Amino acid sequence: MSTAQIPPGWKGGFAQSNPAFAYPTPDLSSLPMLDNMDNIDLLQRQQGVKWPEFSWQTIPGNEASRCFQMFSPYISRLGYTGKGRVYSIICPQQGACSPTFGCMNVEVTVTGQRGWVDETTKTFYADMTVEGTIWFSPSAHQKEWVKKAWEIFNKFGLKFPTSKANAIKVKTHKFQDPSQPIFPVSQGETARFKSPPFARHEDEAWNVGHIDVEIGGIEQTDNDIVNKFNAIVMDAFNVASGNMLKQGNTLTWNVWFTPPTLVDREEWRTHAERWRKSIDEDHGSPTGPGTKPRYFDGKPFVASDAFDVEMKSVMKGEVQTLEKTEANKIESFLKEHFKDEL
């Protein structure tokens, strides 16, 4: 691990302020879950996640299908006070492209957090609640079926997921506990599986932690037609991303930190919007690109490969292609609900 010098101003003490906070079984229930943006003015220090290494099973239940992908450097960050109380956690944004729908954005939105950091011992612990949000990026708007559906939705005053405000929201919960929306962000790499050498950074990183979060269902709107359409979009997103946000799947990330630095509070406030704008502009990343998803042996993940294994469908004796299957779904949806508009 890195032994780089940390900036002055570290006081510490918050991690030791309650014996219940300590490992091996930290309990932060005495702390309120705080909104992620409510206490930016209290932030003094931060640890950036230069190497956000994500992993998930592209075919749920099949460990051999596990993929590894590093998202863009510094897309996540841990913010805290000089005493070590965590007040904000920046989480990732990413994109995935479907052959029928075009490109979509996914943001892991932090809805609540609490935690502590101890720079002296290079340890930390936090609780989080998050939801996944999915919406179309501008490049997707020109796809034939997206453009048509968007036009029809607008005509009837229905919410179409072309912005974060109208995004499809996916619930999450603690690993193997659907009743618990709060899940831990813990010290060390996940013990659930072994990561390949290309997804580990112990010689360069200052510290490492991990998150295991299980994916729940889509949050329902008050309109049945919108709910059905959102389900189709989520199916397409999961085909394109290798079931990253498929209900029942577990998304894990090992977060490899750089040494502590001081916080620029205004930069912190505008971080999410700056990333969102960058991603909307054809999925660029302000701090550079991540990696393509790969299996443990380094072989690149190809969405159609997982589709062929998991989602084969037969029509008139012929195996459907990924693109044709997606097109059929949206075409059938529009004919069922908006026949007179086609």
Question: What pLDDT was estimated at residue 316?
Answer: 40
CA distance 302 to 322: 12
Q: Note if the bond before 196 is cis, omega within 30 degrees.
A: no
pLDDT at 237: 83
Q: Which DSSP symbol is given to 181?
A: -
CA-to-CA distance for 319 and 3, rounded, in angstroms?
55
Q: Which of 200, 318, 261 is nearest to 77 (CA)?
A: 261
Q: pLDDT tens, 4-22?
A: 678 999 999 999 999 999 9
Which of 252, 278, 245, 212 shows the shortest CA–CA distance to 52? 252
Q: What is the pLDDT of residues 55-109, one digit of tens each?
A: 999 999 999 999 999 988 888 899 999 999 999 998 866 667 776 777 787 888 8
Q: So what's the pLDDT on residue 290?
A: 74
Residue 202's identity, in one-letter code, is: E
Residues of the chain with pLDDT under 70: 1-4, 92-95, 99, 139-142, 272-289, 304-323
Nearest to 137 by CA among 282, 323, 336: 282
Helix axes 144-155, 322-338, angle to 10 degrees: 20
Rounded Cα gap, residues 269 and 93, in angstroms = 16
Q: Is 230 helix (H, G, I), strand (E, B) or coil?
A: helix
Nearest to residue 97, comparing CAs of 228, 208, 236?
Answer: 236
